[in-house]
Amino acid sequence: MTDKGLLECFYWGLGSENRGIADQLYEGVTELEVQALGKGKYLSLRECKQGKKQRAVQDDEGLSLIQKKIEAHEKMLNEMKENIEMLNEASTSNFMTIKLQDAQIGHLISGHYPTFTEDSSNYKMGDSKNEE
């Protein structure tokens, strides 16, 4: 039995709905073949292989470009991490300096000025000014 005979047997063995779908597929494939041949898009096997080689080269170039961009972003990310570490160290140092200066200022103020309590003369002087 020939291929055409087998296809006909297969076709008639399908249900009516499936035959309709097969007819639509056949029409679609036929239209695509006509378009491809009409536009000169028919490619020989050799041309297809060359196209695959060119696509492979383009894919390699694309992957290479992506790899370079990833490496550049990783380098930038590492630099940002280093900058963040330096900023954290600087802010910690500044915080400690401020705390130390606050303690020193507090010590100087307490040494030059007596503390104000209700029974101290400085406190009473403050009250007499408010009474005026």
> What burial class does residue 22 get, using C-beta atoms within 10 Å of its C-beta: 0-12 exposed, 13-18 middle, 19+ buried?
middle
Q: What is the pLDDT of residue 51?
A: 58
Q: Are 30 and 38 in contact (CB under 8 A)?
A: no
Alpha helices in the chain (DSSP H): 3-13, 16-38, 45-112, 121-131
pLDDT confidence of residue 30: 78
- Residue-range domain boundaries for the chain: 7-38+65-110
Residues near 14 by beta carbon (within 8 Å), at least 6 away in sequence: 22
pLDDT at 116: 61
- Spatial distance between the Cα atoms of 64 and 58, rounded to a whole number of angstroms: 10
Q: Is the pTM of this model over 0.75?
A: no
List the end-to-end C-alpha distance of the chain, in Å, as a whole number. 128
Alpha-carbon distance of 123 to 49, in angstroms, equals 100
> For the chain, which residues score pLDDT lower than 70?
1, 6, 37-58, 113-132
The pLDDT of residue 119 is: 62
